[in-house]
Amino acid sequence: MADIYCDNALLGGATDVDTAVHGTLVIQGSVVLLNKPQQYPSKFVKQYNMIDILNTATSGIQELAEKTEQTFTRLADEWEHDTAGSSLIQDMVDHPKYREIIALGRDALPFILERLSAQGGFWFGALHEISREFAPSKDDLGNREKMTAAWLEWGRENDLSG
């Protein structure tokens, strides 16, 4: 996440949809100069209402989250279908759909935690691989119920789940 600045004042965070670099904010491919217009040749400057800029950024972030959720749901459904008969953890975590879910990165964490809470499943490997953390204690290893509770608590502590 990058910070958004306007006249050297911090306005907030930018995500993959928005990138702030030295006073330039890119929102869905449109360059918006946030510094004082007189600092740039007028042919390169377009002034925007800051509320409109932030609303556009928020809208883009929401669309990205919705797309990630749809992609996650599709992949998780396919993974669960394909591995329904398997009891081997290695088969589950090596499955191409599981690997694609992990490739979604941190954006997938709220959806994984939600699915874990609602339906259970073997999401521990994905949570660990994406977060680079290990929520359960060593004493809880092998105990699905305790591991699930630990990961859900971790999600709450990290503002990733309700």
Residue 33 and residue 114: Cα distance in Å, rounded? Answer: 38
Give the span between the Cα atoms of 136 and 95, in whole angstroms.
24
Q: What is the pLDDT of residue 97?
A: 95
5 or 150: which carries more pLDDT confidence? 150
State the residue range of the domain holding 43: 2-48
Same domain, 83 and 127: yes
Position 143 scores a pLDDT of 94
Domain assignment present for 57: no
Confidence at residue 25, expressed as pLDDT on a 0 to 100 scale: 46
pLDDT at residue 145 in the model: 95
Stronger pLDDT, 106 or 39, i.e. the higher one? 106
- The average pLDDT across 37-46 equals 46
Domain count, the chain: 2
| 5 vs 87, more confident | 87
What are 103-146's pLDDT values in tens digits? 999 999 999 999 999 999 999 999 999 999 988 999 999 999 99
Asked if 89 and 132 sit in the same domain, the reply is yes
Q: For residue 57, what are the contacts with CB-CB under 8 A and spacing of at least 6?
A: 4, 14, 15, 17, 18, 25, 27
What is the spatial distance between Cα 90 and Cα 24, in angstroms, rounded to a whole number?
46
- For the entire predicted model, the pTM comes to 0.61
